[in-house]
Structure 1
Amino acid sequence: MKVQQIKEFGAPDVFHAADIEPRTPGPRQIRVRQMASSVNPVDTKLRAAGPPIAPALPAVLGCDVAGVVDSVGEGVRAFQVGDEVYGCATGVVGHDGAYGEYAVVDAAFMAAKPKNMDWRQTAALPLVTITAWEALVDRAGVRPGDHVLVHGGTGGVGHIAVQLAKTLGARVATTVSTTEKADIAERLGADDIIYYTDEAVADYVTRVTGGRGFDVVFDATGGSDIAKSFEAARVNGQVVTIVSQYEADLSPMHTKSLSLHVVLMLTAMLNGIDPGHHGEILTKAAHLVDTGELEPLLDTTRFSLADVAEAHRRLESGKAVGKIVIDIATA
């Protein structure tokens, strides 16, 4: 099978085309003929720096899987050959990558593909949807009537978080930088738009919440200024972030009695903990897709499997709006 492989860590040009033998699925695994995948910030970090969670070299990266079951391992009951599936089940140490024509994955991480979406849309969903779900549902426990602030409401995780919070019955505010992104955020369901480059935190907390603060603040940007999230949260509020690999002053949490949650959705894959929960999340997400309550935002630039390096450059440029998808096969 054709793959995009790396033999060293570094800039996007470390990717090169290779032909390798497809692996036979083991117990509780399935092999998926890939229709599409996507690029996530974690993929670029693994490629660039090779942190401890990176797969051994030579490596195939890519976390998001979307395709047709090609082979089924012993003990698999949920899927059979020919099923259309999706999931985030690859691309880290101990697991195959998704930038190839086939991927062997643990069946528990997978779910049936949404009926009302094409392969490109489906491939954009897994990692970002699981991340947003773990943040808002599993950790923060967002309830009807909560006022939720999503930092970066048109980003990969953020645009899913805005929609998910709405399905949970929350009022949703989000930060954007341009009118174009504001229009997108409103289309996704955001109730309150905040231009973070033009308005101080204290000012938008007063304007949007009457000075009370937000019940839940979700930093979906992976930035390094958690202080803004603490400032925006109400007393006894909750803050969730997807990045905590930096030093920060946590003392503002004390005066407000805040709760802080850190979400890395790859934890289940890295530690073999409750993989079935990810399958459950994606099954519920597929229902939201099919009822018109959830849809991915796709960047307009298109890439094939041969263009993975360019797709990584596109993401790192900061110019993408929505998820970057890799087309791998035709129907």
Structure 2
Amino acid sequence: MKALVLKDYATGILTLETVDIPKIIQGHVLVKIATSGTNPIDYKIRTGQAPYAMPELPAIIGTDMAGTIVAVANDVENFAVGDDVYGLVGGVRGLAGTLAEYVLADVRLIALKPKNLSMREAAAIPLTFLTAWEGLIDRANLKPEHTVLVQGGAGGVGHMAVQIAVAHGAKVVAIASQAKKDIIESYGAAFSDYKTQSIDECVSEFTDGKGFDVIYNTNGGTQLEQVLEATVPYGHIVSSNAFTEINLAPSSLRNVTISGVFVLWPMLENDRRQHHGDILKIATQLAESNQLKPLIDPKEFSIHQVVEAHNYLADGKALGKVVIDITNI
């Protein structure tokens, strides 16, 4: 098969090479990849900025994928040849990635692709949906009566968090730029412009000054600091980007729970992998009931343009997820 191979973190160069198709092993399926979803972690791995996840070189990177099963291990019962599937399956330490024609996927990490979504749309879902779900449902135990604030509500994880919270019946407010107001409101959330409305003003307008029950922070840093006093007492703040030092005193004085989400753990540690597959089954159900729609940047990239796609995403030019076409090699 053809695959993009990374040989040097210092240069970050990807070389298209011919390598062996993976041999089927127990508990796995071989998937012919149609599309590979791109996330910030992909270019961080490629350029040596993610020591906690980087594979030994040479390596095939790429995390998300959608494709069709072409071979099934004899112990696999829930999937068959010809099934269209998607998942967050590789590209990190110990697992070959999705910038290739085929990938050997652990069946615990995949689910059947939503029938009403294209391969391109499906590949945009796994990492971001899993990250959003783990934060809102697994950590914060989201309830229909909750008020939820999502920082970065039109971003990759953010737009998934908004839709999950709306689907659960919560009152949702999403912070974004004015240009993304229509996107936020199309998901059924209230919009807050980060340039013109402070967090205190947001709390006052949307919660009568009481604070949000749950806050999902996607950008970390100062944005995380800004919401430490924005929950109700005993509220919950979730962050998928809590990589900076902050003073937790403001939240501690309110008995606030702060949870971090590290979505790569099941792949890296071979722990709770089936939970990811189960979450993606829910994503499929939500998509097929028209409660989940991935936001995808209209710019298309082929497997020959992966570095360009990474730069496009890293430069903040993308509106929604960036997806790589693997079929035209």
Range class of TM-score, shorter chain: over 0.9
Counterpart position of 1:72? 72
8 Å contact kept, 1:174–1:185: yes
Query: Aligned partners of 1:222 and 1:29: how far apart in 2?
Result: 36
Counterpart position of 1:315? 313
1:27-58 CA deviation, whole Å, 9 max, x = no partner?
Answer: 11111000101110111111122513211111
1:64-121 CA deviation, whole Å, 9 max, x = no partner?
Answer: 1210111112421111211111110111111010011101111111111101011100
1:228-243 to structure 2, matched below 5 A, reads 228-243=226-241
Counterpart position of 1:99? 99
Percent identity reads 39
Q: CA deviation at 1:232?
A: 1.8
Choose from 196, 200, 212 the match for 1:198. Answer: 196
Q: CA deviation at 1:222?
A: 4.5
1:208-255 CA deviation, whole Å, 9 max, x = no partner?
Answer: 211111000000235454211212212111000002222111111221
Counterpart position of 1:39? 38
Query: Aligned partners of 1:10 and 1:142: how far apart in 2?
Result: 42
The question of 1:118 aligning with 2:118 is answered yes
- In 2 relative to 1, CA 289–231 (structure 1 residues): closer, same or farther, beyond 3 Å? same
Choose from 195, 215, 218 the match for 2:216. Answer: 218
Counterpart position of 2:172? 172
Query: Aligned partners of 2:55 and 2:29: how far apart in 1?
Result: 19
Q: CA deviation at 1:22?
A: 0.9
Structure 2: where are the runs of 5+ without partners? Answer: none
Query: Aligned partners of 1:223 and 1:161: how far apart in 2?
Result: 19
Query: Aligned partners of 2:27 and 2:222: how far apart in 1?
Result: 39
| Aligned Cα root-mean-square deviation (Å) | 1.3
8 Å contact kept, 1:62–1:91: yes
8 Å contact kept, 2:217–2:223: no
8 Å contact kept, 2:36–2:98: yes
Give the AA of the match of 1:23.
P
Counterpart position of 1:63? 63
- In 2 relative to 1, CA 133–328 (structure 1 residues): closer, same or farther, beyond 3 Å? same
8 Å contact kept, 2:31–2:103: yes
Instruction: Tell me the TM-score normalized by structure 1.
Output: 0.96
Q: CA deviation at 1:11?
A: 5.8
8 Å contact kept, 1:155–1:221: no
Q: CA deviation at 1:282?
A: 0.7
SS across alignment from 1:4: strand
Query: Aligned partners of 1:10 and 1:74: how far apart in 2?
Result: 41
SS across alignment from 2:99: coil
8 Å contact kept, 1:158–1:221: no
Counterpart position of 2:26? 27
8 Å contact kept, 1:91–1:98: yes
Aligned residues: 327
Counterpart position of 2:181? 182
